[in-house]
Structure 1
Amino acid sequence: MFRKSIYCGIVFLLLFSTLFAGGAVANNSTTVTTNSAEREPMNTEVHSIDGTNVLYQYGEPVPSFDTWTQEEPSRSYLSLDGKWKFSMDPDKQGMNEKWYAKEFNDANWQSEKVPGSWDLYDTPDFGTYDGSNFGVGSAFYDGDAWFRTHFSLDANWKNQFVKLHFLGVNYRAWVYVNGHFVGEHEGGNTPFSLNVSKYVQPGKDNVIAVRVNRRADFDSYTSPDAKPVTNDTELPYKPVDYWRYAGITRSVYLEATSQVTVSKILTSTGDHTLTTKVVVYNHGDKQAHRQLVVNPGNQTGGKQQSREITLKPGEVKVVSFDFTIPNAAYWSPESPTLYKVTASLFKGKGQGKQNGKDSVDDSLSTNYGMRTIAVEGSKLTLNGDQLFLKGLNWHEETAENGKSMTIEEYDTELNHVLNVNANFIRNSHYNRHPYVYDFSDKNGIMVLDDVDNMWLDTKQEALQTSSYGLSRSLVLSMAWNQINHPSVIMWSLQNESQIWDDEQVYRDWLADMKSAVKSIDIQNRPVTWASGSSWDPAYDLADVIGLNEYFGYFYQEDKDLGTTLDAVHRNHPNKPILITENGTWAHIEDELKHGDSTQSGTEEWQSAKFLNHWNQVTDPSRLSYMAGYTFWVLKDYKTRLGYNKQINGISTMGLMRFDNEEPRLIYETFKDAKNPLE
C-alpha cells in the first residue's frame, strides 16, 4: 500500500524531492532535446500605453475572450465547434505531405467532435476503475495529430478584422488557414487568438488545419522499467500527477469586427467607484476618428461618459474613465451581484449614441462586480471583512468527456462545491474554461487561479526566467484574461517546484512572475503559490503564504501541523496563511471501504484525517492569521504518472468517485465542517 499512498497526492517537502524532483527518477529519464527556439512562440510582451500595461501576443493586443458567450451585436461570429477531420501522424508525414494545404484530400480521415480530447476517441474503459486495459488506446497516443475543418463566410466579413479564437489546445498547436501558416501556440490551458484577416476568403470555401502535439510522459505506459520523457522548456516539463488531455479540447470560433475595435476593457472597483481602461486598436491602414462611449451598467447609478479619440493606422490607445456608482451593491459569496460595463465606438467626431444603433462601429461588454480584496496585516479581507476560505482543489475532467466538459457537466461539478458549503476553489494546476469563472461570478464561489508551473527543477526555473519565458507568458495571460472576474481573488504562480538546489534561481523565477502579474492586474490581487515546504525561502515575496501539507500522511504526525503553522506565522507575522492542499486517499474495494478510523485507507480514516487537520487550522488561537483550508480533492482524478495502474491510473483522494461521482463519507464530513467565521 506504500506505493499507492506515496504517489496519490502531490510531491511534498525535501524528504521526497530526491525521489520525484530530479533524483533517481530523473537520472533514468529519456530527455527530449530542449526546444530549439530561444523563447516561447507567442512572443508575449507587455507594452505601456497611455500609462496602462497592455498584453501583446503575436504582435497585437490580446483581445477579450468574453465574446465566447457574450456576442456583441456590432460583430459577426461563426462557431467552429462540431465534427472535424482527424488523423494521427506518428511518423510525422503531415508536414512533408502538406496536410495543411487547402486542397489536401482528407476524405479518408476519421470524423471527431471538437471540442474533444483524443484520449477518449478510442480507449476501452477510460472512465472506469478497470485497469486491465491501462496503456491501450488513443489515451496513450503521443506526438503529432492533425485536425481539419471547412467553413464558409458571408460577404459582410469582407474587409473586417477577423480573429480566430481557440479556448484551449493541448499541448502545442500550429494553425493554418487556407494553407497559410498563421501562428503557433504553446500551453494547453490558455486561450489564444490569431489574426486571420488576410487569410480568410468570404463567399468561398475555407479550410483550417491544426497540427497538435503532446509530449509523451513515459517511453512506455506498460513496462515496469518505463522511463520519464521530459522537455526542459515545456510546462509541465516532466510527468505530473494529472492527465494531460490532448487535442482541441475547448471551443473554437471566428469573430469579425470593424478595423477599429475595442480589444479589451479592464475594470477595477472601490467603494462605489469604478475605473475602466478601454483598449482601442486601429487595425486598419487609415487614420480613424471615433467617439468612445462607456456605460458603467444598469442599476449602478453611474452615468455614461464619452471621449473623442484619433488613432493612426496600427495604433493602440488606452482610454481611462472613472465612474461613481452610488447604487451598486458589493459582490460577495452571500450576494454575488454583477454589473455589465459596455464600451462603444461611434464613427466620426461629435457622434454618439443618439445617432442610433446603426452608427455603432464596434462595441464590447464585460461583467464586473464591486468588491475589494486585500491583505491587512495577517488577515485576508473581502470588502474590508476578514475571510476564511473553505475550499476544494479540483481537476477539469469527467469520465465521459475528459477535459472537454459540457456546460451541464461544469454545472454538476461546481454545484457540488456549493452543496458541500465551500466558498472557494483552487484551479489546480492550470487555467480553466471561461465558463468556470462566469459560474463562480454568478454563484459566489471565490477562486484561486493557477498555471502549469508544476514541479519545475532549478534548471527549468532558470531557463524560464533567463530566456524561454513561458512561465511569465502563462501568468500574464492568466491575469489579463481573468482580470474582470470578481470571483478571482488571488493568483497562484506555481505548485511544489524545486527550492533547494539554488535558492536564488527559485527566488528570481518567482519574483519575475509576481512582477509580471502585478504589472497587468490593476486590481492588485494578492499573489501566492502552493509550496511543498513549510520553510519556503521565498515566502517573504508572497502576499499570502500558500502551503501544501500532508502531516501524518507523507511525513511526521498529524499533530505536527498546528505547531508548524505557529512557527510559520512567527517567521512571517504579517502574512495570512492558506492551506492550499491537504487530504488522504480511500479504498475503492467494497470489502475495504469501511472500518476503524485508525485503519489506513478506510473512508472513516479519510474523514478522521481531514477533521484532525481542519480542527487545527480553525483553532480559535490561529484564526488571526489563517486565511483558509483547501481539501485535496473534489473528485478522484486520472493520472498517467505511473501509479494505481491496477485501477486505471486513478487517484482515489476525492470526496467522490471518478466514474459516477458517488459521494464518500468524506463528502458529508466536509460539508458539515463549519466555516469558523460564519
Structure 2
Amino acid sequence: MALAGAVAAGPASTTGAGTSSSHREPARTEIRSIDGTNVVFQYDRPVPSFETWRQDNDYREYRDLDGTWRFRFGDDGVDPREIGVEEGWYRSEYDDSDWNDVAVPLPWDLHETPGFDTYDGDYFGEGTAHRDGYAWYRRSVDVPDSWNGAAVELVFLAAFYSARVYVNGELVGEHEGGHTPFALDVGDHLEPGAENELAVRVYRREWFEDEESASEPEGITGDSELPNAPVDWWPYAGLTRDVYLEATDPVTASKLLVDAADGEVTMRAVVYNAGDEPGTRTVEFDPGTGTGGETATEELEIEAGETRVVETTVEIPDASAWSAASPTTYEATVTLSDADDTTVRDGLSTTYGMRSVTIEDGVLQINGEPVYLKGFNWHEETGASGRSVDESGYDALLDRVREANANFLRNSHYNRHPYVYEYTDEHGLYVMDEADNMWVSAEQQEAQLEYGLSWALAVTTAWNQYNRPSVVMWCTQNESSTEETDVYREWLEEMKDGVDAVDGQNRPVTWATFESHDPSFDLADVVGFNEYYGYFWGENEELSGTLDRLSSEYPDTPILITENGTWSHAPRDGDAGSPYESGTEAWQARNFHEHWVQAASDERADNVVGYTFWALKDYKTREGYNRFDANAVSTMGTMDWGDSDLETHVVYDTIRDAYGAYPDLTDFEIGDDGEETDESESGESDDGRDGGGGDDDGGTADDTADDSVPGFGVLGGATALAGTAYLLERNTTERTK
C-alpha cells in the first residue's frame, strides 16, 4: 500500500438534503446528496464499509486490536462521579498496571459470573453480569512509520451501550447504540513510529432497581437511550465485537454501492478525500469473476475534504440470479489509481448478488417469483461468549436454521456481526434486518424525533447492509407504544423515509407490532405483527380470522407474522401424566402446529407471505416477567441455551417437518403421547429446498383443536399467567418497559 499526503481535519465540503440539524445523537448522522446519490455521514465523514473487518484488503494496512486489554470498573461499578474522567484514566501517562487483563471482544458480563451459561437460578444476581454503569478499557498499539500522512480510522464493530474514545489522551469521539459499528477518524491523533495509548469508556445504564433482591424489579426508564428501559434480551456490555485500526491513502474509497438486476450492474464508489490537497484519480470498476462483465474506468478530480460519488453501469451477461434456492454471489471491486503513474492507491471490494425484491398485488416476490417465508427469530449469543460469537459458533447455530428447512431469519432486535450476513449470502437465507428500537414509549418516541438516535439506527442499518442480497426487508422497530397515534406515526414515517432515501434497491420497510389493529399499518410496505393467540390472549383458532381481516383491509400489502411462540419451562413430558400439560415441550410443539396450519393454509389470501417462530434458541433476558427461576433464561427456543450441544426441543423437529412439507400441511404429525414419531414423508418446499424427513412430533391438522388436551388452547400455568398479565398491562398503558 502506498500512503502519501497529509490529512485534513475539516468536514466534507459537499452538502445536500439530509437530516434536521436538531438531531443531537453523538455521531450526528446525516444523509447528504452527493452527485445524485444519498450518502450516510457520521462525524462529518461518509460511513465506511465494514466489510473490511477481516483486515485482508491488500491496498490497506491494519492493526488488529482484538486480544488483551486492561480493564476496570468505575467506582462501585456505577461511577456516579465519573471518577475515571476526574482521575485521568484516559491519559497516556496514567498507570494502569493494577488493572485487570481481559479479552476483547468479550462482554464484561462473562468476566466473573459463575454459572452464567446454565439454567440454575441460584446463580442469578451474581458476578460482573450484574455490574452496570461505567467501565474502562486501555491498551497500547505500535503504529508504523508508514502511516505518516495516512487516513486512519479506529473501527469498533460494537460497543454496548455507549462509548467515549480517547487516543493519546485526546477525546476523538463518542458513539451511542450498542449493536451498530462505527469508525472514528484518528489519523491526526496517532504518532507514527511510536507506541500509542487507546482508552475507551463504555457505559451500560442500570436497568433495574434492587435487581438482585426483587422478584419483579422496577425498571428504570431512560431519556435518550435505546432501548430506553428493560427489554426481553440480555444487554451484554463492553467491547463485544472486533476492534481494529485501518490505514488508507488520504483519497479513499469509503463505500462501494452495488445494484444488480436483469443482467446488468450499477456500481457507485463513495470517494472521500481526507487530505489537505486536491487529488486526481483513475477509478476502475470490476464487476467480478463469473459475471462476464467488462471493467470500466472513470476519471475523478476531488478537492481536499470533499466527498464524491463515481458511478458506472455494465452488463453482466453470465451472472446468475441470487435466491435462497440458488445463492450465487459475486465480488465487485473498485480501485483508485494515480492519474499520472497508474499506481493503485486504494481499493475496496464487496460481495453482491443479482436479486430483486418487489411486491405485486400484495405478494412478496424475489426475482419476480412469489416466496413464502418460513422463519425464525433469533438472538446472537452463546453462554460462553455472550454477543461475542465466533465463526464456528455462528455456523453451528445457523446450520440448524437450514436443517430445519427454514428460508428466513428475522434479526431480532438489532444488527448482527458482519459474518452473519456473509453466511446468509453464501448459504441462502432471506433476512429481515432490524434496528435497535424496541418497546419505545410514546414519550420516548417524541424525544427521539429531536434526539435522532432511532432514525440514525434505522438509516445505518440500511446503509451498512446495502449490498447484502440475503437482506430482503428492513424492520425499524418492535412492539412500541401506539398510545400517542400522531407521534407514533411521525416517528415511524421519519425512520421509513430515511431508510427509503438510502436504499436504492427499494426493499420493503416494515415494523413488528404487538397488535393486529395497529394505527400505522397503512404506512408500512409489509404488515408485520407479533401474535400470541391461545397464550397471551384469545384462542389459537382466532388467528385465521385475523389474517383474513388484515388481508381484506390491506389487499395490496404483504402480511407477515413476525413472531409467534410459547415458553416450554415445564419438564419435557409434564408433571401430571400428560405430555401436553401447559408449558411442556410437546405443548409448545402443538401450539406451533395450531398456528402454522392456519398461517400457511391455502385458504389464506396470497398476500399472507410468511410465519416467523419465536425463537430459534433459548436466550438470556433481564426482563423480570421472563425469568422462571432459570438464571434469566427464557425457554421459548427450539434449542437449549447451552453452547456446543444445541440440544433440540420437541418443537424443533415439528418445525423442521412442517417447513419441509410446505405447502402440504398434512405431511407431518404431532404424536398423541408427545414422543417423537417417524411417520412423516419427505417434502419439497416451494423454494426448492429438500423438505427433510426423519423424526417429527404431533397430531395431524385434523385434530389440532382437541380441547380435551389439558392446558391446550388456553392460558395455562403460573408462568403463562404472569407473562400475560405483564404484557397486557404493557400493551394497554403508557409503556415504561
The residue that corresponds to 1:604 in the other structure is 586
Which residue of the partner structure matches residue 241 of structure 1?
232
Does the CA contact (< 8 Å) of 1:595 and 1:602 recur in 2?
no
Aligned twin of 2:160? 170
Higher RCO (CA-CA < 8 Å; seq separation 6+): 1
Q: Does 1:453 align with 2:426?
A: no
Measured after TM superposition, the shift of residue 593 of structure 1 is: 7.6
> CA deviation digits over 1:314-373, x for unaligned, max 9?
111001111110000011111111101100011025x65xxxxxx101000001000111
Q: Distance in 2 between matches of 1:254 and 1:588?
A: 49
**Correspondence 1:54-73 to 2 at 5 A:** 54-69=39-54, 71-73=56-58
Kindly indicate whether residue 393 of structure 2 is the aligned counterpart of residue 409 of structure 1: yes
Contact kept, 8 Å, 1:593 with 1:603, in 2: the verdict is no
Counterpart check, 1:128 vs 2:111 = no
The question of 1:251 aligning with 2:242 is answered yes
Tell me, in whole angstroms, the C-alpha distance in 1 between the residues paired with 2:109 and 2:589: 33
Measured after TM superposition, the shift of residue 587 of structure 1 is: 2.5
Rounded to whole Å, the distance in 2 between the matches of 1:413 and 1:669 is: 18
Distance 1:268 1:202 in 2: 39
1:387 equivalent in structure 2: 371
- Cα distance in 2 for partners of 1:596, 1:376 equals 47
Q: Is the 8 A contact 1:390 1:675 kept in 2?
A: no
Q: Secondary structure at the match of 1:646?
A: coil
Check whether the contact 1:145–1:213 (CA below 8 A) recurs between aligned residues: yes
Q: Secondary structure at 2:550's aligned position in 1? A: helix
Write the letter of the residue equivalent to 2:250.
Q
Instruction: Report the TM-score when normalising by structure 2.
Output: 0.84
Provide the C-alpha distance between the structure 2 equivalents of 1:594 and 1:541, rounded to a whole number of angstroms: 48
Q: Report deviation, 1:475.
A: 0.6
After TM superposition, give the deviation of residue 70 of structure 1 in Å: 5.8
- Aligned amino acid, residue 675 of structure 1: Y
Residue 20 (structure 1) aligns with: none
Q: Measure how far apart 1:42 and its partner are.
A: 0.4
Cross-structure match for 1:50: 35
Across the two proteins, how many residue pairs are aligned to each other? 633
1:589 is displaced (CA, Å) by 3.5
Q: Deviations over 1:12-45 (max 9, x none)?
A: xxxxxxxxxxxxxxxxxxxxxxxxx971100101
Q: Given residue 594 of structure 2, which amino acid in structure 1 is its aligned partner?
A: N
Q: 1:623, CA displacement in angstroms?
A: 5.0
Residue 717 of structure 2 corresponds to none
Which ranges in structure 1 are unaligned for 5 or more consecutive residues? 1-36, 353-358
CA displacement at 1:588 relative to structure 2: 5.0
Pick aligned residue for 2:189 from 181, 191, 199: 199
The separation in 1 between residues aligned to 2:358 and 2:380, in whole angstroms, is: 28
CA deviation after TM superposition for structure 1 residue 273, in Å: 1.2
Residues 133-173 of structure 1: per-residue CA shift (max 9 Å, x gap): 21111000000000001110221111100000000000010
Map residues 260-659 of structure 1 onto 2, 5 A cutoff.
260-349=251-340, 352=342, 359-465=343-449, 467-499=450-482, 501-587=483-569, 589=571, 592=574, 596=578, 598-622=580-604, 624-643=606-625, 644=627, 646-659=629-642
Q: Is contact 2:440-2:480 (8 Å) kept?
A: yes
1:54–1:594 Cα change, 3 Å: farther
Structure 2 vs 1, CA of residues 189 and 575 (structure 1 numbering), >3 Å: closer, same or farther? Answer: same
| TM-score when normalising by structure 1 | 0.92
Q: For 1:147, what is the secondary structure of its paired residue? A: strand
In the TM superposition, residue 406 of structure 1 has moved relative to its aligned partner by 1.2
Match of 2:655, SS?
A: helix
SS at match of 1:42: coil
Q: Using the TM superposition, give the Cα deviation of residue 675 of structure 1 relative to its aligned residue in structure 2, in angstroms.
A: 3.0
CA contact (8 A) 1:329 1:337 kept: yes
CA deviation profile, 1:265-301 (whole Å, cap 9, x unmatched): 1111211111111101111111111100001111101
Would the aligned equivalents of 2:573 and 2:584 in 1 still touch at CA under 8 Å? no
SS at match of 1:647: coil
In the TM superposition, residue 457 of structure 1 has moved relative to its aligned partner by 1.2
**Contact 1:596–1:605 (Cα < 8 Å) also in 2:** no
Shift of 1:597: 5.6
Query: Taking structure 1 as reference, are residues 591 and 599 closer, same or farther at Cα in structure 2, changes over 3 Å only?
Result: closer
Aligned to 1:675: 662
Q: Give the drift of 1:221.
A: 1.3
Q: Does structure 1 retain, via aligned residues, the 8 Å contact 2:222–2:228?
A: yes
Change (3 A) 1:334 1:141: same
Q: Which amino acid aligns with 2:525?
A: D
Corresponding position of 1:31: none
Between the aligned partners of 1:650 and 1:595, the Cα distance in structure 2 is 26
Q: Is the 8 A contact 2:527 2:557 kept in 1?
A: yes
